[in-house]
Amino acid sequence: MSITTDRFAGKTAIVTGAGSGIGRATATRLAHEGARVIAADVAPERLVELAAELSAYNVVTIAGDITAEEVVQKIVAAADGRVDVLANIAGIMDGFLPAAEIDDATWERVFNVNVNSIMRLSRAVLPLMIAHNSGAIVNVTSEAGLRGSAAGVAYTASKHAVIGFTKNTAVMYAAHGIRTNAVAPGAVITNIEAPMKSQHAAGVVGPLLQVVVPAPAEADRLAAAITWLASDDADNVNGQVLASDGGWSAI
């Protein structure tokens, strides 16, 4: 993909999950469009690869688990007091476990990564955005945030929670010039692990997924939606959930 704009020149963007998939594509696009990117991921080797690939651009990498408050503080400290864009992209799946089979560890880990980290990072970044009276937060939800048939119960509930967090934050800080939106990807070709660990789920949602899911998209196509919402082109858009899913959510 050739990028010819400089929508993010002079801006600082935090991207979580920047080592792989949608986060990596988004960090790359933001850097190519002029942003200083704080790229965070729990997998250090992925960040080393990203930094090498983007060595001509302004990229700082922070390795660590974003569910830990000290890692969140490190990420925000790297921004030197200015955050124009926060792209909360890191997320994990749940083995498609339904309510009768979900274990506490899976439920808690999925919520910690998919929801609590968004709360922690937003809580840390919002005072900086408020001080500058501007900012854009883009959270990644999922088709599973829009319907009950795209994952297990923990992932589905967590991605619905991301939408609630997005809408409340959009309302609370609109008057401070801060926009908060979400992107709901359909199937995307990434490294996310999505094993079907439940026979019950395989029987119930397996056939549905085979019938209705459009062809998986490249991660670049999600980066396009995320960066649009993060850019001034979307300056009248707040509290919205933009599905980038080849039409899945219309079925």
- Closest CB to ligand NAD among residues 34, 91: 91
Distance CA 221, CA 174 (A): 27
CB of 150 to ligand NAD, least distance (A): 8
Q: Pick the catalytic residue: 96, 107, 111, 155?
A: 155
The residue ranges that bind ligand NAD (CB under 6 A) are 16-17, 19-23, 40-43, 46, 65-67, 89-92, 113, 140, 142-143, 185, 187-188, 190-192
Q: Which SS3 state, helix, strand or coil, does residue 185 take?
A: strand
Q: Smallest Cα–Cα separation from 167: which of 142, 147, 144, 137? A: 137
Comparing CB distances to ligand NAD, the nearer of 32 and 221 is 221
Q: Is residue 155 annotated as part of the catalytic site, yes or no?
A: yes
CB of 73 to ligand NAD, least distance (A): 14
* Residue number, 99 or 192, with CB nearest to ligand NAD: 192
How far is it, in rounded angstroms, from Cα 37 to Cα 57? 9
Q: Is 130 exposed, middle or buried (0-12, 13-18, 19+ CB in 10 A)?
A: middle
CB of 206 vs ligand NAD, minimal distance in Å: 16
Q: To the nearest whole angstrom, how small is the minimum distance from the Cβ of residue 162 to ligand NAD?
A: 8
Give the nearer residue to ligand NAD in terms of CB position, either 6 or 54.
54
Dihedral in degrees, nearest 10, Cα atoms 115, 117, 120, 126: -80
Are the beta carbons of 117 and 66 closer than 8 angstroms? yes
Catalytic residue set: 155
